[in-house]
Amino acid sequence: MNIVAIIVAALVVGCVGIILGFFLGISGEKFKVEVDPREEAILGVLPGNNCGGCGYAGCSGLASAIAKGEAPVGQCPVGGDPVAAKVGEIMGVTAEAGSKKVAFVKCAGTCEKAKKDYDYTGIEDCAAMAFVPNGGPKSCNYGCLGYGTCVKACPFDAIHIVDGIAKVDEKKCKACGKCVAACPKNLIELVPYEAMHLVQCNSRDKGKDVMNACSVGCIACHLCEKNCPSDAIHVENNIAYIDQEKCTGCGICAEKCPKKIIL
């Protein structure tokens, strides 16, 4: 083997490497994108869950939006007020205290209470029920299907299927909204953590049809509406709705409800 050829080859490779490194260094300085130091600081205090509950593509996307003034300092639902306060300090603004929220499933149709039209065996996914007869085996076309699409979507292990319906662990829930988006029946909504009373039903059917499908469904009898002293509950489209801003937590609506569907 020619030692001179080996030395020449090593020198050529080394020179090429030096030249490439030189040009890459110059290009990096010339074309580098300046990063707002506040963006990096904000990213450092965000939880890092990258759940997307803020509406941005992960924590880095939210940090960039906040630094640019495109998102409020309290946009992170996981971090809540403590993180909002830290982000506010970085941005030099005062973070307004937000209302803690939690996911709520508007269905109480457990295996015992909800009737079935037929027995189903197949892919256990709520979204797949759109392709089976009547949108699923349950007689109520508005109720929880119980196949756990919301469970798979939750990044915090805060929701599980219990006795045929989804149940939320309020202590674990971060109100990221993933389960809300995943539910094909639009059964899950974010409500104030301090909410005193909630209607655990979503059926728009008339009373007779509701009773034929579920023993605990709202039958739109209007008793809750008629007896509420603060005008906080009204029946619309055959289902009772509670205005949480008006509700005083007196409990009269829950007491008067014949189906005991108001929690």
Ramachandran area for residue 196 (φ above 0: left; ψ -120 to 50: alpha; else beta): alpha
Together in a domain, 155 and 180: yes
Q: Helix/strand/coil (H, E, C) string of 135-157?
A: HCCECCCCCCCCCCHHHHHCCCC
Q: How far apart are CA 208 and CA 219, in angstroms?
A: 7
Q: How far apart are CA 241 and CA 120, in angstroms?
A: 32
Note the pLDDT of residue 161.
Answer: 95
Note the pLDDT of residue 45.
Answer: 83
Q: How far apart are CA 133 and CA 150, in angstroms?
A: 22
Domain finish residue from 91, 110, 132:
91
Note the pLDDT of residue 68.
Answer: 84
Together in a domain, 150 and 210: no
Strands (E), the chain: 101-105, 159-162, 165-168, 188-192, 233-236, 239-242
CB 260 within 8 A of CB 216: yes
Domain finish residue from 48, 73, 91:
91
Together in a domain, 156 and 205: no
Whether the model pTM is above 0.85: no
Note the pLDDT of residue 101.
Answer: 86
> How do the pLDDT tens digits run along the chain, 263 residues long?
567 767 767 777 777 778 777 777 676 666 555 667 888 888 888 888 787 777 787 888 888 888 888 888 888 888 888 888 888 888 888 777 667 889 999 999 998 999 999 998 888 899 888 888 888 899 999 999 999 999 999 989 999 999 999 999 999 998 888 999 999 999 999 998 888 899 999 999 998 999 999 999 999 999 999 999 999 999 999 999 999 989 999 999 999 999 999 98
Together in a domain, 141 and 87: no
- Overall number of domains in the chain: 3
Beta-carbon contacts of residue 227 (< 8 Å; ≥ 6 apart): 252, 253, 256
Together in a domain, 73 and 110: no
Together in a domain, 124 and 189: yes
DSSP assignment, residue 190? E
Note the pLDDT of residue 30.
Answer: 60
Domain finish residue from 24, 56, 91:
91
Note the pLDDT of residue 35.
Answer: 65
Note the pLDDT of residue 113.
Answer: 93
Note the pLDDT of residue 32.
Answer: 56
Of 245, 239, 156, 236, the residue nearest 197 (C-alpha): 245
DSSP assignment, residue 214? B
Q: How far apart are CA 214 and CA 228, in angstroms?
A: 25
Task: Give the domain extent around 51.
Answer: 37-91
